[in-house]
A and B are shown apart, each in its own frame.
Chain A
Amino acid sequence: MSSSLSKNFNNFLAVDQVSFEVQKGEVLGFLGPNGAGKSTTMKMLTCFIPPSSGTAEICGFSILENPLEVRNQIGYLPESAPSYDEMLVGEFLSFVAEIRGFSGKELKRRVSIVVDMTSLREVENQMIETLSKGFRQRTSLAQALIHDPPVLILDEPTDGLDPNQKHEVRTLIKNMSEDRTILISTHILEEVDAVCTRAMIISEGRVVGYGTPDELMSQSLYRNSVTVSVNAEDHIPLMNDFNKLDFVYSVEHLPGETSGTGYYAFVPTK
């Protein structure tokens, strides 16, 4: 899967030449603040919106020339997990399976597999409207998995889940990643560390960092830095002394809550 995409909305450049390649077995994390262009990129990859320029290829199919085939290859969890409120969980999953071309026993088998995978058994006959956020999110995730797609695009899959559920979903993503290509977006740093093999930092529509989580962290100025809390009235002589230490690259002073205290962040030399 590879892409090089731009998108502008009425002169606002939302995504600016975002290019990347992901292989089978990889989990690529889109990391960035809200409004950075993560979701927009995902919407272009799933052929929901067309790119203003550039294209992407998924499993050998172009999003511009062969959108239906691309969608066949993708399982997509849109942001905030939309689903039809008036349907029962099982009914909704059957509906999605039917659209994906399954019928009869195969359809039932598929629904049953994803219900187990996402631990939805207990709410299978419950109306989606009545579900908690965690169950809704998992119903939507189940929907994305129903056709066992080679590519999964998950827009904030752990958003709104409690820590236990977050952990479950991350484990699920990790387990599925062996024979698949997975793209997830998040604004939680630890999630990238927990599930991604590679991460892409996006800011204002641009890629500002790309690499394995370790590589990205090693690029950080604050890698291995130490913060020390000190009680002292006057911080200037202290700073001078700190700066003389030979393992210190730089020191930053962060005022404490009461006068006479302060925090000092030591950035080490390499």
Chain B
Amino acid sequence: MPDLKRILHVEDDPSIQAVAKVALEAVGGFTVLSCSCGQDALDQVQGFAPDFILLDVMMPGMDGPQTLQELGRMVDITQIPVAFMTAKVQPNEIEHYRSLGARDVIIKPFDPMQLATQVRAIWSRSRG
């Protein structure tokens, strides 16, 4: 089973982007590529070849769900698990994200010391 090493993180807020990067790299020991918009992620996903993708939901221009749809055309998201990070976590919203192909949802605000653990748990579950 391949190991979880490379994470693509798409987030328009630079502060959250920075915090998540530190949390995943310094605490989790992963390699993180931070993208500030959906298009940026589409441009870089094939070159970076991530093991896991973390997507913000509300972003200017292409939002999280749209980005996920576009990513699905470029890479095999059955092999690269995708999780959303959002504060919009009503049961019907979570249901909607799953129907789009997301494996899980990480609730904002997140605990940076626990983020790497959460990501690893989702990754493990998706690998069955």
| Same complex | no
Query: Residues of A at under 8 Å CB distance from B?
Result: none
